[in-house]
Amino acid sequence: MQIDIITLFPKMFDGPMNQSILWRAQDKKFIDLNIVDLRHFGEGVRKNVDDRPYGGGAGMILRVDIIDACLKSIKAKPGTKGQKIILTSAGGAKFTQDKANEYSKLKRMIILCGHYEGIDNRVAENLVDDVVSIGDYVLTGGEIPAMVIADTVTRLIPNVIKPKSLTEESFSGMESEYPQYTRPEVYRGWKVPKVLLSGNHKKISEWRNDKPNSDIP
């Protein structure tokens, strides 16, 4: 899958997107990550990308014409089969595991990061396929939401991680995964549940089915 992320802060992606499974997914060509610097499409010597809101109000709004120029330059058009242009917004539709599954089947995902006060609403109205929120809170920019979306989707692409790891985890047929333990068997008097040491797979499986992690206070 090709993942394009449009941002005013490309350096934010340097570390987080180049570690662990995300790095391996790129190395093995499961994803091709393209970080696009929106500033390159800015106007004038100062490369302006934003302006004050019509009607007054606080902060600066990213301009629709600048974003349109950027999307055109990377040949991203809403409604294209196998692609989605996704706008990050606190007021968008909630990003869920189901949505991540749907996105993992795409050939290309283009994520647009807002910043400052937000983005001219004509972008949401005309230039994107989906408007997505990662939760009911406001972040300074869409960069962390873009990483959340890219990470969640990448691990669902076939063979990025072992299929068994995906079937036995939270939100995949179970609300939350069962509790997991490893060595040492006893630590500071805290014991691993006996059934997990029994070798009885039927009992282990029953225990796991009865014991969602949400039991933990």
Ligand X SMILES: C[S@@+](CC[C@H](N)C(=O)[O-])C[C@H]1O[C@@H](n2cnc3c(N)ncnc32)[C@H](O)[C@@H]1O
Residues contributing to the site for ligand X (CB under 6 A): 88-91, 113-115, 117-119, 133-135, 137-142, 145
By C-beta, is 86 or 160 nearer to ligand X? 86
Q: How far is the CB of 100 from ligand X (least distance, A)?
A: 14
By C-beta, is 31 or 123 nearer to ligand X? 123
Q: How far is the CB of 111 from ligand X (least distance, A)?
A: 10
By C-beta, is 55 or 184 nearer to ligand X? 55
By C-beta, is 137 or 190 nearer to ligand X? 137
Give 159: exposed, middle or buried? Use CB within 10 Å, 0-12, 13-18, 19+. exposed
Q: How far is the CB of 47 from ligand X (least distance, A)?
A: 19
By C-beta, is 45 or 58 nearer to ligand X? 58
Contact (Cβ atoms closer than 8 angstroms) between residue 109 and residue 86: yes
Alpha carbon separation from 125 to 120, 134, 144 (Å, rounded): 9, 20, 23
Contact (Cβ atoms closer than 8 angstroms) between residue 165 and residue 197: no
Q: How far is the CB of 37 from ligand X (least distance, A)?
A: 16
Q: How far is the CB of 144 from ligand X (least distance, A)?
A: 8
| CB-based contacts of 194, cutoff 8 Å, min separation 6 | none
Q: Where are the alpha helices (DSSP H) in the chain?
A: 20-27, 64-73, 97-103, 121-126, 143-154, 163-167, 201-210
Q: What are the φ/ψ torsions at residue 105 (nearest 5 degrees)?
A: -95, -5
Pairing of strands 190-191, 186-187: antiparallel
Q: How far is the CB of 48 from ligand X (least distance, A)?
A: 17
By C-beta, is 30 or 116 nearer to ligand X? 116
Helix, strand or coil, per DSSP, at residue 36: strand
